Structure 1
């Protein structure tokens, strides 16, 4: 038996697809991802989602506007990606410092390339 919320969800997706076609918009199902956030102890395995006859890929994690979102609402994947990028950029900061670059320029580089990365979407 299909859960009530699943039926409502699929109806909303169908309404979205209909609205898009009526307003001359195309849904690119190859770029569309489905993520299911379910914290119940006994989650049911749902049937795949289809839009205009094409299957939608179900994922556990995806990137949206530079932020990784996972189905368990954990920030582990996002934090790991940010740390990796920050470490790569810190290497360049060390190279610049090694070549005796002025401290004001080092600070500018840090704020532009590292601090901005660390503070992006921090309110989330």
Structure 2
């Protein structure tokens, strides 16, 4: 980032690990500009709910709750 004169807002940066191995070792924390990046299991990106298993359970749950609230 510094070499290309880019600024990264580490307070808004999140990490999600997608690892499909059965015996997953613990992953080391990512550190950018001396700030630890928060590890997330789920998050919303461009309106799509993503999770670390890459299935649609969070998206369908959100749609169900929204439909239930409007009925």
TM-score (norm 1): 0.53
What is the alpha-carbon root mean square deviation over aligned residues? 1.3
Higher share in helix? 1
Distance between the aligned counterparts of 2:14 and 2:60, measured in 1?
A: 21
Return the offset for 1:64.
0.2
Distance between the aligned counterparts of 1:85 and 1:22, measured in 2?
A: 45
List alignment gaps of at least 5 residues for structure 1.
1-17, 92-124
TM-score (norm 2): 0.88
List alignment gaps of at least 5 residues for structure 2.
none
Greater length-normalized contact order (CA 8 Å, ≥ 6 residues apart): 2
Q: How many aligned positions are there?
A: 71
Moved beyond 6 Å, runs of 4+: none
Larger radius of gyration: 1
